[in-house]
Chain A
């Protein structure tokens, strides 16, 4: 059985070198892709006039844009490179990361979408910490949430920018340093100019590309492996545990994935932040159906490449991979037409860039808006400072990606779990339970922050690891939920006073 911490570490984006795929077709498709993204960014810059436009798209996006941007922000490059590599390594257990997708979008819609959109209407909130601050009348809770987001964002961004640099280097052969700065420069250019508006509309383009590429590659995986039945038969003969229900994980480890990626989805600010932006909230009706469909379609590559490469290896058609992240590039180059490989490589860059863009935006919001507000200060020109903070965060993340070595991998591990354990109780439960208190929110955010930072760091440096199957992210999520309820119960006399009447109306809606 594979130890879960090792598997969790692999969930961070690509950090090992990819095989170089410098081919004229791949290069030209990638160039065309970057030109389209730049053009969208230039258009979006002209649409961005206020901080509300920059951080919340002026509450003016439609359903399709919401759907595709949520899908793109959710997936990142992990779905195309790290994910298939993880399936190849640990088998079906890796599917537990994406398995809750059938539930999470509807769960997010019921628990958060309506109330966050109403908060944007009633309080003009533009960030998730804004909502926390308003819900609990607590600048401290808002500031803590902002700090949690900032820590996770910089880590996530550094690992994603490193992954982007590797992909660009693989496609253009320009070296990792140039790859990092070219990728970050293009993403930053449209993020600084067009803010989340640029992010949303590049996501529409990128998400469509990712979905189409995923379906086509899946068909080629079936062809290469002799259909799903052929793939299964081959794998069952050579490595029966691979297609066992938990793959090479323990049951608790696989279930932990399901729990953290299911419940934890309610605390991912780069995703739920987009609920503020929908022009017509009545369109939310079709959001879960469309987003779930798009996600399932886009996940076909994740599963297909992982099992097909394993099957091809067991048939002796492919050599065992030294680096599991090579599964997608090697499959594409060996078993699909070059133009499709080119589309997927652009799709990988697209997925990473859309995720980075979302993080740039929420990170800048935390830095420019949430942390100062928690200290009783307010930035005067939020649009200008939003742009400046986007540049600062982007350059810091790129420098970190370029120079910090192991630290990048450590920071990448924090991401999802830190968001989940710090934000799920205070936001997802707190926005639906009038008995939640300010002390409960502060205690749960602090618990999630402390447990995640301390135990992920101890595990990363090899000082202490939880037993097999117990993830830091899972344990910190469940403990922060319990602390939230326990402290809210102990301080229940204050619940009434931490809830403004207009927020109560939103919560009862």
Chain B
């Protein structure tokens, strides 16, 4: 899975790079460039999150919120690019904003807030850090370095006064 995610990051960076490069063409930025940028940027942000969230090569249940965020970003920006401008004489307002502005602010700007931080909290123990993980990882790391654990557990008063020094 990680290899696929890394390829997605590289591919999305290339898409953004091509979108930028197209602006240097004679005649200015072509119409397809924003579409390319949207695809690259959306995939890069979601795949970077997946890269960070992957544990033992898996993102577990997180594929659901990550998939939804991808749909929100690509779908939201896609709608904004595709929809016609609001009619100033007879504006339809969605929650007080013209439709395309509402998609930008409420859809792209706010909707992920209801998904992503909640998904992080909901999967934290299984996907990020569980009780006891910190001590286990610290001890494994020290063992990997060929040393006995040096530090008392986090929160111990003994820890103060030793910061800033590398072993």
Contacts and interface: CB of A to CB of B under 8 A. Distances in A.
Interface of A: 49-56, 58-60, 92, 95, 98-103, 105-107, 109-112, 114, 118, 121-126, 227-229, 231-233, 236-237, 240, 243-245, 250-252, 255-256, 258-259, 262-263, 266, 279-282, 284-286, 288-289, 292-293, 296, 303, 382-383, 428-429, 432-433, 435, 466-470, 474-475, 478-479, 481-482, 485, 500-506, 508-509
Contacts of B111: 102
B86 interface: yes
A424 to B, nearest CB: 9
Contacts of A52: 160-165
Interface of B: 2, 6, 9-10, 13-14, 16-17, 19-20, 23-24, 28-29, 33-34, 37-38, 41, 44-45, 48-49, 51-56, 69, 77, 80-81, 85-86, 88, 91, 93, 95-98, 100-101, 103-105, 108-113, 116-121, 124-125, 128-129, 131, 133-134, 137-138, 140-142, 144-145, 151, 154-155, 159-167
A245 B100 CA distance: 6
Nearest to A436: B6
Given A252-B23, A252-B34, A501 B144 contact: yes
A33 B86 CA distance: 45
A101 B112 CA distance: 9
B164 A500 contact: no
A236 B128 CA distance: 46
B97 A505 contact: no
B7 to A, nearest CB: 10
B134 A281 contact: yes
A482 B18 CA distance: 12
A340 B26 CA distance: 52
A469 B23 contact: yes
A232 B96 contact: yes
Nearest to B95: A228
Contact of A255 (B37, B85, B161): B37
Q: Is the interface of B mostly helix, strand, loop or mixed?
A: helix
A467 B160 contact: no
Contacts, number: 272
Given A121-B151, A485-B10, A505-B137, A126 B164 contact: yes
Given A245-B103, A251-B81, A468-B23, A59 B120 contact: no
Given A102-B112, A107-B48, A59 B117 contact: no
A118 B134 contact: yes
Contacts of A506: 137, 141
B143 to A, nearest CB: 8
A382 to B, nearest CB: 5
B80 to A, nearest CB: 4
Given A109-B120, A227-B96, A255-B77, A124 B167 contact: yes
B86 A118 contact: no
A101 B44 CA distance: 16
A433 B51 contact: yes
Given A428-B48, A478-B13, A243 B97 contact: yes
Nearest to B83: A245
5 contacts: A52-B162, A52-B164, A59-B163, A293-B113, A466-B23
Given A236-B86, A240-B85, A259-B16, A280 B164 contact: no
Contact of A479 (B17, B116, B164): B17
A228 B97 contact: yes
Contacts of B34: 251-252, 255
A237 B120 contact: no
Contacts of B101: 92, 232, 243-245
Contact of A111 (B49, B81, B119, B154): B49
Contacts of A60: 160
B41 A467 contact: no
Top 3 nearest A-B pairs (CB, nearest first) are A52-B163, A228-B96, A111-B52
Chain A CB within 10 A, most for which of B48, B81, B163 = B163
Given A103-B45, A103-B112, A500 B145 contact: yes
A106 B66 CA distance: 11
B164 A482 contact: no
A122 B14 CA distance: 35
B26 to A, nearest CB: 10
B120 A282 contact: no
Given A244-B100, A481-B13, A505 B141 contact: yes
A506 B20 CA distance: 36
Given A102-B110, A124-B164, A289-B121, A502 B17 contact: no
A230 to B, nearest CB: 8
Contacts of A98: 109
B163 A126 contact: yes
Given A118-B137, A252-B33, A266-B48, A288 B116 contact: yes
A122 B19 contact: no
Contact of A429 (B51, B131, B151): B51
Contacts of B33: 252
Nearest to B57: A508
A288 B16 CA distance: 27
B126 to A, nearest CB: 11
Nearest to B122: A285
B104 A99 contact: yes
Nearest to A276: B163
A99 B42 CA distance: 13
Contact of B124 (A236, A284, A485): A284
Given A252-B29, A252-B37, A262-B41, 8 more contacts: A51-B163, A55-B163, A100-B45, A102-B109, A110-B128, A240-B88, A251-B81, A506-B141
Given A500-B145, A502-B144, A102 B166 contact: no
B10 A56 contact: no
Nearest to B159: A59
Contacts of B117: 105-106, 288-289, 292
